[in-house]
Amino acid sequence: MQPTRILPERRGPLAPGIDEALIERVVRGFYGRVREDDMLGPVFDDVIEDWEPHLRTMMDFWSSVLMMTGRYHGRPMPKHMRLPIGRNHFLRWLALFEATVNEECDGEAAALFIDRAHRIARSLLLGLSYSPSSQGPSGP
């Protein structure tokens, strides 16, 4: 039996140019667009009373995703399951996010932000569309 190899913990930006200031600019710029958007604005405004704590949470989230800081400890799926959202909302979310990222970032930083956003959107959309009754029998 081979011994378990423990890899060193990686912390820090996953791409050059990513730092907390950039994450803050992207998050604030993106949610500024969301709040003005005809499709997404009403969805968010119905559930967010005080935007500053939400923005701080999203900065922690993206810091954890892109810089491995471990600051975000939330569970996004249950929060999104309560929202009246579907595929078109996610497509709009991605379009606004990409536009913001492309204004604030370039190169590897932009590519990483966009890649992670697509993965997150895909995961949330799959989770929201999952129905246990649509699955076949489980177990023996």
Q: At residue 139, does pLDDT exceed 50?
A: no
Distance CA 20, CA 59 (A): 8
Residue 136, pLDDT score? 45
Indicate the domain borders of the chain: 20-129
Distance CA 101, CA 108 (A): 11
Pick the CATH number of 20-129 from 1.25.40.10, 1.10.490.10, 1.20.1250.20, 3.40.190.10: 1.10.490.10
Question: What number of CA atoms fall less than 13 Å from residue 72's CA on the CB side?
Answer: 19
Residue 93, pLDDT score? 94
| Rounded alpha-carbon distances, angstroms, from residue 83 to 80, 110, 125, 136 | 5, 28, 12, 27
Our CA dihedral for 29, 50, 53, 22, rounded to 10 degrees, sits at 10
The whole-number average pLDDT for the span 107-123 is 92
Of the candidates 35, 38, 36, the residue with the CA atom closest to the CA atom of residue 47: 35
pTM of the model: 0.80
Separation of first and last alpha carbons in the chain = 32
Residue 87, pLDDT score? 87
Residue 15, pLDDT score? 57
